[in-house]
């Protein structure tokens, strides 16, 4: 497993939201309690106070997210200020996986996509023939990712944009090769797979779905992604599926009975599965709304300036309460209220992000409580993307050296545990 921390370096202007790989963890006990003990011991060993955690972000495993026995619950029992966030991009991947695994036709579709890639990838000669015959677009065939489902859009795009050229190359292979297995596979793919109505329309459907999900996934992986923007992005994705359900895919004319059967048993089925899975996977809407209720008044200059005295005071007191652990709180609500009243008059209207506002506060150097509130809010990540990427990075030693330098400048942090 991978341990990542996210913290806010305010020693420079502009401030930096940083995510640091700490280490890989060898885990033998996979129950919530065992994982929590491992995490607690690691944090203690590297000299980080667990009470300084302000957010925890995991994948969707029940041992991590469990409300009663998961790691997040164990940590909340120790410090109530350690907000919990499910990984948004992981939820999107699981949604696509749910859809694919619920329908045999979808499994068959992606099976064909992989077979096309494998046929050419297994031979440099066949790969060169393909390159010589594809159009000027020149998209390279890609193997299907087994973990990042939304990235399959590149595999589908390579075929949907060059379907005619690929089919022609398959026919050439079937005619010229002396290998009976290759001849059979190439002819089957050209005539009985790429030429099928369900595969052609399947490409259109899945390209539209994967492209849309991929865009949202990339948005959610931004280090400065705000909670309200993340929630809006997911809601917009669900709205896309609902609208796509009504519009339907564009397909060539075929017999009405076949078209109706395809729409009902394939298209509508997978769209309904996607909507149902998104609703289920993003039950953390409630968590997002709690975040917005807690920090929402700080998101932008416009939101902060829109509050009257009564609502501003209520928001400051609520934030003080949310950041309490025992009899102490990170901030004093009254101090925050006094500072924000001044900020309502002096904060530039064009500051539309939390990081931009924190940079303004740092330059002003006279809003200590507000600075702390914004620093804590910026530790909240939307994904565990950094944790997943750490498996493929080679600069871990450099990062560990940098980590010792940065931790001397910041206190509050969150972590991804994947």
314-338 pLDDT, tens digit each? 999 999 999 998 888 999 999 999 9
The better pLDDT of the pair 381, 104 is held by 104
407: confidence class by pLDDT, cuts 50, 70, 90:
very low
Strand partners, 21: 4
Q: Quote the tokens at residue 24.
A: 């890989």
Sign of CA dihedral 226, 388, 418, 402: negative
pLDDT on residue 225 = 75
How high is the pLDDT of residue 415?
59
Structure tokens at 251: 């397909």
Residues 76 and 82: their CA atoms lie apart, in Å, by 6
Q: What is the pLDDT of residue 346?
A: 92
Instruction: Using DSSP bridges, classify how beta strands 16-24 and 328-329 pair: parallel, antiparallel or unpaired.
Output: unpaired
Tokens of 214: 């991929």
Q: Which residue has the higher pLDDT, 154 or 61?
A: 154
Comparing 123-127, 256-260, 269-273, 405-409, which segment has the lowest mean pLDDT? 405-409
Per-residue pLDDT averaged across 241-249, rounded? 84
Strand, helix or coil for residue 229: helix
Residue 250 confidence (pLDDT): 62
Between 411 and 134, name the one with better pLDDT. Answer: 134
Contact in structure between 244 and 179 (CB atoms under 8 Å): no
User: Which H or E element spans position 134?
Assistant: none
Question: How many CB atoms are closer than 10 A to CB 24?
Answer: 12
Residue 410's pLDDT band (cuts 50, 70, 90): very low
Distance CA 322, CA 71 (A): 20
- If residue 84 lies in a helix (H) or strand (E), which one and from where to where? strand 83-86
192 closest CA partner among 174, 213, 219, 211: 174
407-410-414-417 Cα dihedral, nearest 10 degrees: -10
pLDDT in tens, 198-235: 888 889 999 999 999 999 988 888 766 777 788 788 88
Lowest-pLDDT range of 85-89, 119-123, 371-375? 85-89
- Write down the mean pLDDT value for the chain: 84
- The rounded percent of the chain whose pLDDT value lies above 90 is 39
The C-alpha atoms of residue 57 and residue 387 are separated, in whole angstroms, by 10
The 3-state DSSP composition of the chain as helix, strand, coil percent (nearest 5) reads 65, 10, 25
Taking only the tens place, the pLDDT of each residue in 339-351 is 999 999 999 999 8
CA distances from 388 to 273, 278, 416 (A): 26, 21, 10
Q: Residue 251 above 60 pLDDT? A: no
DSSP letters, 324-351, are EETTEESS-HHHHHHHHHHHHHHS-TT-
pLDDT beyond 60 at 402: no
């Amino acid at each position: 497993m991978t341990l990542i921390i996210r913290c806010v370096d305010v020693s420079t202007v502009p401030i930096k939201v940083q995510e640091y790989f700490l280490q890989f963890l060898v885990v033998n006990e996979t129950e919530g309690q065992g994982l929590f003990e491992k995490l607690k011991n690691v944090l203690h060993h590297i000299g980080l106070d667990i009470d300084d955690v302000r957010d925890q972000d995991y994948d969707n495993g029940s041992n991590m997210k469990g409300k009663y026995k998961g790691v997040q619950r164990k940590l909340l029992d120790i410090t109530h200020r350690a907000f919990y966030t499910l990984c948004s991009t992981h939820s999107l991947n699981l949604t696509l996986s749910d859809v694919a695994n619920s329908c045999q036709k979808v499994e068959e579709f992606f099976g064909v996509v992989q077979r096309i890639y494998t046929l050419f990838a297994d031979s440099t000669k066949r790969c060169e023939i393909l390159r010589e015959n594809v159009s000027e677009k020149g998209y390279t065939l890609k193997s299907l990712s087994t973990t990042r489902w939304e990235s399959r859009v590149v595999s589908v795009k390579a075929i949907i944009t060059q379907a005619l050229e690929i089919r022609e190359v398959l026919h050439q292979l079937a005619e010229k090769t002396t290998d009976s297995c290759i001849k059979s596979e190439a002819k089957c793919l050209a005539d009985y797979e790429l030429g099928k109505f369900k595969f052609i329309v399947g490409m259109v459907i899945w390209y539209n779905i994967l492209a849309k999900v991929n865009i949202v996934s990339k948005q959610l992986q931004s280090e400065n992604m705000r909670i309200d923007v993340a929630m809006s992005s997911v809601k917009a994705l669900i709205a896309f599926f609902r609208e796509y359900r009504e519009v339907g895919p564009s397909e060539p004319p075929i017999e009405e009975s076949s078209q109706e059967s395809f729409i009902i048993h394939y298209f509508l089925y997978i769209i309904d599965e996607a909507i149902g899975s998104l609703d289920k996977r993003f039950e953390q809407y409630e968590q997002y709304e709690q975040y917005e209720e807690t920090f929402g008044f700080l998101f932008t200059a416009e939101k902060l300036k829109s509050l009257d005295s009564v609502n501003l005071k209520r928001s400051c007191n609520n934030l003080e309460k949310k950041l309490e652990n025992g009899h102490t709180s990170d901030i004093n609500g009254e101090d925050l209220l006094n500072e924000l009243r001044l900020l309502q008059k002096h904060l530039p209207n064009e500051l539309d992000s939390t990081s931009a506002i924190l940079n303004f506060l740092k330059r002003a150097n006279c809003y200590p409580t507000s600075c702390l509130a914004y620093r804590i809010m910026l530790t909240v990540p939307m994904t565990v993307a950094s944790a997943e990427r750490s498996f493929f990075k080679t600069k871990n030693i450099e990062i560990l050296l940098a980590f010792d330098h940065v931790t001397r400048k910041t206190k509050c942090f969150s972590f991804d545990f994947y």
